[in-house]
Structure 1
Amino acid sequence: MVRGPWSVVFALRQAQRTDEAEYEAAQAHRTLSSAPSLATLSQALLLQIATGKLQLPEDIRLVPDSPESRMCAALLDQFRFDRLTGYPGDLSPDISSWQMPPELAPAAALQLLETPLRYRNTQAAAARRLYRLRRSSGKRRPAIDSWLQQMRATLGESDQILLVVGTLAVLDEAWDEAIYWLDAAKRSTATPTPAILNNLAIAIVRARRMERCREALTLVDTAMTLLPDNADLFASRAEIYLALKDQSAALKDLQQAVKLQPENAEALRLLRVLDAAEQR
């Protein structure tokens, strides 16, 4: 991903320092405008995505078949998607309640996600938009699912898209959806990915799929061979042990998670759960 002033603006927005973010964006935009090129256009597009403030021309001409032009084309389509759908940006406090405009045909929005989904550096952002679009589409969801299945057949590596969609479903506590997408993500890659394995295990446990809890344990154990000192994985395995009613093993993992990361929120939450269970 191209890095530069946009990352400062994004960090300020994430910290809810809106005035500072807009000031930095304005300063960066003046600098970029004085030296137009594909590289500075990429920076300007990233600023647009980070702030939602800049206005970019529609008749930008890109050099065919270069990495910079593909990056800009993907970012331009993402910008146009946001403008067409009213998508408020990933940092908006109202993002979970965003709805696709009822008068908008899904095909028009999906067309603008095709290039960003194909470009590895913009896949994650495009996948977040695809997830929100799908969640808000109601009766139009089957058309979106059909389109996504066709896209996956031509994308090659689709694991990042499926991971993002599945992880957002975990965050929304849509457990069945999370399992569906993360199972697909696991199948799509021959190399084990800790994030896919962990998030799938968590979705299985929280969906109370007891017949798959032993499988969830294996998933986390596999992730631990890749990240042996990761506190989140110890907390995840502890949650699985709690579901399996093995409180001794759960306590051991939680103690290790807190040792590795004393402020690990999930480990501290599960310790409280374990304490409450023992006091009954």
Structure 2
Amino acid sequence: MTKNSTLFVRPEIVVEPNRNAVAEVQRPLSAFEAIYRISWIRKTAILLVLALVWEIYGRWLDNSLLFPSFSETLHAFMSGISSGVLLQRAAVSLQTLLIGYSLGILLAGLLTTVAISSRIGNDFLETLTSMFNPLPAIALLPLALIWFGLGTGSIIFVLVHSVLWAVALNTHAGFRSVSNTLRMVGQNYGLKRFSLVRSVLIPAAFPSILTGLKIGWAFAWRTLIAAELVFGVSSGTGGLGWYIFENRNQLETANVFSGLFFVIIIGLFVENMIFAKIEKRTIRRWGMQH
């Protein structure tokens, strides 16, 4: 640098922090925002809106035989609960449902374990799924009648069919999505077949398995109600499906709606109190889902 050269100093730009932005970030949530973040409150609000729409339409239609209002349905529901009829019918339906649902899950687990262990097992499951999954469970009612007679066995048979393929498909898809790295890690620890499935594949594929369990539960409910419309009185059980059918024949439409309302309540309870807790303690806890 020569004596005549001038030293230029670049002016530094000082940016003052935006105090308004900082205050905006640190602004506490309002009461509405804090409540809105709670999931069960949002869902309850949706249900209340639906109930309000139901009540308005029922009153506007003004025909209880065709479409009772929500208040009339709720009154019939409370009467059925207080008399114990609805609770008794629901207990019968749930007992049958749990048996069929459990058997369907058990068979689905065995099939998917065999499918993941060998190529012939994989081909076997894919073939059976392609054959029987499109077949409606209700279409098997005549065969169930011939094979098992009028009774709980026929209902359980169609329940197993409705649950088996949904759970097997989702479980198998979840197993196939597990990375080869995890499989090799399990094999390096000496895990094979059932131990590999239990310790590696099931935890890694649990989001798909849980989805299959939810779908299987919904299919089982629909199949159960439809099957009880046919078999309920003959088997002497009289579940919710037969309760709905009886009241339809007697033109007690409010009781029909109350039976359907009870099915909805049970479905909401299972979804939000059982499946949601399982999901929170497994999938979300493991960081698989936000």
TM-score (structure 1 length as normaliser): 0.23
TM-score (structure 2 length as normaliser): 0.23
Structure (1 or 2) with the larger CA radius of gyration: 2
Higher RCO (C-alpha 8 Å, min separation 6): 2
